[in-house]
């Protein structure tokens, strides 16, 4: 799956201008990200096919986990504009963390706070992107 997705993304990225490492075009990052994903898939496949690989049984599919993870991403997209980046990221992390069998409120809150800080540093300060940071009610 990783090899297929990585090759597909890399192939599609060649339709865009690549640019150089110093001056990246729109196809540069997706191309190399696809290559890295395909290489990671190859490493996983080789490890799984090795004689020393441990056999594991896959239990039944848990739709609750799928619904929590996908639902948290959809929830993030819906509430980003009205709630702002900080609360939306925090909500995304806490709801998706609830899907884990080892769920812990303290860890989920700590991860949420860390990712809020990281999102601010990376996207607002680092890249200069413009997002609503707080709920629209508080900014008036």
Calpha distance 90→112 (Å, rounded):
5
Residue 132 lies in a domain: no
**pLDDT (tens digit, 9 = 90+) per residue, 84-140?**
889 999 999 999 999 888 889 999 999 999 999 999 998 888 888 887 888 877 765
**pLDDT (tens digit, 9 = 90+) per residue, 39-81?**
999 999 998 888 887 887 877 888 988 999 999 999 999 998 8
- Both 69 and 44 in one domain: the answer is no
- Both 74 and 41 in one domain: the answer is no
Structure tokens at 105: 């409120």
- Both 32 and 71 in one domain: the answer is no
Among residues 61, 58, 60, 71, which one has the least CA distance to residue 98?
71
pLDDT at residue 72, rounded to an integer: 94
Q: Which SS3 state, helix, strand or coil, does residue 133 take?
A: coil
Residue 133 lies in a domain: no
The model's pTM is 0.62
Residue 4 has φ and ψ, to the nearest 5°, of -65, -45
pLDDT at residue 6, rounded to an integer: 94
Structural domain count of the chain: 2
Residue 24 has φ and ψ, to the nearest 5°, of -75, 140
Boundaries of domain holding 74: 63-124
């Amino acid at each position: 799956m990783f090899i297929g997705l990585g090759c597909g993304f890399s192939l599609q990225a060649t339709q865009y201008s690549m640019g150089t490492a110093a001056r990246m075009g729109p196809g540069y990052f997706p191309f190399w990200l696809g290559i890295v994903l395909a290489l990671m898939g190859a490493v996983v496949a080789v490890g799984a096919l090795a004689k020393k690989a441990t056999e594991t049984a896959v239990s039944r599919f848990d739709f609750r986990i799928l619904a929590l993870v996908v639902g948290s991403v959809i929830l993030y997209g819906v509430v980003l504009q009205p709630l702002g980046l900080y609360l939306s990221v925090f909500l995304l992390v806490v709801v998706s963390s609830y899907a884990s069998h080892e769920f812990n409120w303290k860890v989920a809150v700590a991860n949420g706070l860390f990712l809020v800080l990281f999102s601010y540093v990376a996207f607002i300060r680092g890249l200069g992107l413009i997002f609503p940071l707080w709920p629209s009610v508080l900014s008036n």
